[in-house]
A = this chain, B = another copy of it.
Amino acid sequence: MKKINIGIVGMGTVGTGIARLMVQNRDVISARLGAQLVLKKGADLDIERDRGIDFAPGQLTTDPFAVTDDPDIAIVAEMVGGTGIAKEVIDRAIDNGKHVVTANKALLAEHGNALFEKAETKGVNLSFEASVGGCMPIIKTIRETLISNRIGAVAGILNGTCNYILTRITNEGITFAEALTDAQEKGYAEADPTLDVGGFDTAHKLALISALAYGMKINLDDIYIEGISGITPLDIEFARDCGYRIKLLAISKFDNGVVDARIHPTMVPFSNQLSTVSGTMNAVTLTGDGVGDMVLFGHGAGMMPTGTAALSDIADIARNILAGGGIRVPMRAYQAAHIREIPIRPIDEIKTHYYFRFTVFDRPGVLAKIAGILGNQDISIKSVHQTERKLDGGVPLFMLTHQAKEAHVKTALKEISALDVSTQKPVLIRIEESGH
């Protein structure tokens, strides 16, 4: 039976997951692939730690370049993460003519255009299923299943940390700070949680998915990013009463040569499958002109789910090698000559439905003043709800709007804030009415 040698750089969570699956499921992998995947070398700063695997002497090394430069290794899995040494590892592996598999969305969102072009020039694959949505085959589905569809939209819950925090606030009515502490204690959130709760990790993933879906160059810079730290139990409770859950959504839509691409807390109706995704689970809705809406749901992170995704890339490359070929499916879904710069619509120009919460003095005329300003900005109110509950010296006034333009909404909220009627800054949450 043919053997294909694999090297792993970064034997942390995901690197160890790949190695474990290669050992514990060696028999099924070979029975399916018709070849044997062999872990030739693994590199990590710490090679002493028990990883639950019996390594042969010399199989682990502290030198990443002992992996990238090993002439026997055909496929290098870069599992270091970040944009430092990881980039050197990938560059060197590609320079050496090796195929690369990575889970590194941060690096690809920032340097992907150049890295993919370089890999294309060298005729090697730079595969990244593990970088978006853990085990879910989001990239394979866009690149292969939807080859015949014009993809119109992608919407996803792509960060388990945020979804866990929002689920805790929803189910227990605790504050964001309390839910974050809990997530940190459980190991779902980092000590510095900014990358997750600020929406940046989600944006890295959306930049990659959007590129694949529409044949556009990767463009992280123009994605609008808003995190979840402003979400309160009060807003979640009101949303629920109106038939919505609040989720951190990655939204991207293709419309007449322009792309909407944004990350923000979003009110999702119960009828939308994404509203049912709780805890650390992830899900993504892919909308195509042939398939309508299709949803993938699964573990978005973790040793074995992400390891599974990396191994599916490794096996795909192994199959190419066995067939004598190089790149079979273009890395960015489209042939290089067809990849264009497609502009991302500035957030001020989007049109969507909105939820507002004002905290106002409980006196006559306030609603009339607010409604007047909204009307002047062409913002049509769908419903208004006021409760008796006191909040910070005022009472909450909730509103849902019909579709309005973001720039108009900003102007209106600024004018309303300038009135002497509120005790708190207005809260704005966008609503996503489409989708299954």
Measuring CB to CB, which residues of chain A are less than 8 angstroms from any residue of chain B?
17, 21-22, 24-25, 28-29, 31-34, 129, 134-137, 140-141, 143-150, 215, 273, 276, 281, 288-299, 304-305, 307-309, 311-312, 315-316, 319-320, 323-325, 328-330, 333-335, 338, 436
- Evaluate whether A298 and B295 lie within 8 angstroms (CB atoms) in the complex, with A32-B334, A145-B140, A289-B25 already known: yes
The chain B residue sitting closest to A293, CB to CB, is: B298
Measured in the bound complex, the distance between the Cα atoms of B308 and A299 in whole Å is 26
Interchain CB contact under 8 A, A29 and B148:
yes
A305 and B333 within 8 A (CB)? no
Q: Tell me how far the C-beta of A328 lies from the nearest C-beta in chain B, rounded to whole angstroms.
A: 5
Closest CB pairs A-B (n = 3): A294-B298, A290-B308, A148-B311
Report the copy number of this chain in the oligomer: 2
Once the chains bind, are A290 and B305 in contact (CB under 8 Å)?
yes
The closest CB in chain B to the CB of A215 belongs to: B31
A135 touches B330 (CB 8 A): no
> Could you tell me the distance between the alpha carbons of A292 and B320 in the complex, rounded to whole angstroms?
28
Would you call A312 and B148 a contact (CB within 8 A)? yes
Given contacts A136-B294, A289-B304, 13 further A-B contacts (CB under 8 A): A22-B148, A25-B289, A28-B148, A31-B338, A33-B147, A34-B335, A140-B141, A147-B312, A290-B307, A293-B298, A294-B298, A294-B299, A323-B324
> Could you list 24 A-B pairs, sorted by A, with CB under 8 Å?
A17-B290, A21-B290, A25-B148, A25-B289, A25-B290, A135-B145, A135-B290, A137-B145, A144-B312, A144-B315, A144-B316, A146-B308, A147-B315, A148-B315, A273-B276, A273-B297, A290-B305, A291-B304, A291-B305, A294-B298, A295-B295, A295-B297, A319-B328, A325-B325
Q: Chain B residues near A273 (CB, 8 Å)?
A: 276, 297
Instruction: Tell me the smallest distance from the CB of A393 to a CB of chain B, in Å.
Output: 40
Quick one: given A21-B149, A144-B316, A150-B25, are A299 and B291 in contact (CB under 8 Å)? yes
Residues of B within 8 Å of A316, CB to CB, are: 144
